[in-house]
Amino acid sequence: MCEEIIFKPIGYIKSPYEDIKNMPKSTRESGDVEAEMIINEEYLESMSSMEVGEEYMVLFYFHKSKGFEQTVPFMGNGPLKGLFSTHAPNRPNPIGVSTIKIKEINGNIIKFNGVDMLNGTPVLDIKDILKPKY
């Protein structure tokens, strides 16, 4: 079994949220608030098939996370739930995932709705949302 896993961010989030207290707890709460993903230019070719209007999963590092509890209040103030049944940022491996909708792509900058990430959040990966083909 691996002792350590090292990730290299592919970019970062430029978000209006500087503090976790003011940040939405989910993409559903963020409404029409826009943010940007600034992707490192070495990955421009990897972005070549991304499309405006499409939804993508963004995997990111909770860079301000400290420690974790095994049970946490759901959505920050609800009933206690087991950590793995939540999206709480304080985790054994502080990796987050959010679904975003692309509004604009300009070079290596992706504007999107669905921001529930702090400004400066490192992006680990982007994956499209598989849709059934009929």
The pLDDT tens digits for 75-92 are: 767 889 888 888 888 888
Mean of per-residue pLDDT scores for the chain: 87
- What is d(CA 81, CA 71) in angstroms, rounded to the nearest whole number? 5
Domain count, the chain: 1
3 within a domain of the structure (yes/no): no
Query: What are the structure tokens assigned to 127, written together?
Result: 């994956």
More reliable by pLDDT, 59 or 133: 59
5 within a domain of the structure (yes/no): no
2 within a domain of the structure (yes/no): no
Per-residue confidence (pLDDT) for residue 25, from 0 to 100: 61
The pLDDT tens digits for 3-51 are: 888 999 999 999 998 877 776 565 566 567 889 999 999 999 999 999 9
Q: What is the mean pLDDT of residues 102-106?
A: 97
> What's the predicted TM-score (pTM) here?
0.85
Of 53-62, 71-80, 95-104, the least confident: 71-80
Those residues whose C-beta lies under 8 Å from the C-beta of residue 124, and which sit 6 or more positions away, are: 7, 9, 10, 59, 60, 61, 95
Q: What is the mean pLDDT of residues 92-116?
A: 92
134 within a domain of the structure (yes/no): no
Q: What is the mean pLDDT of residues 54-83?
A: 87
Domain range for 50 is: 11-128
- What is d(CA 14, CA 58) in angstroms, rounded to the nearest whole number? 14
4 within a domain of the structure (yes/no): no
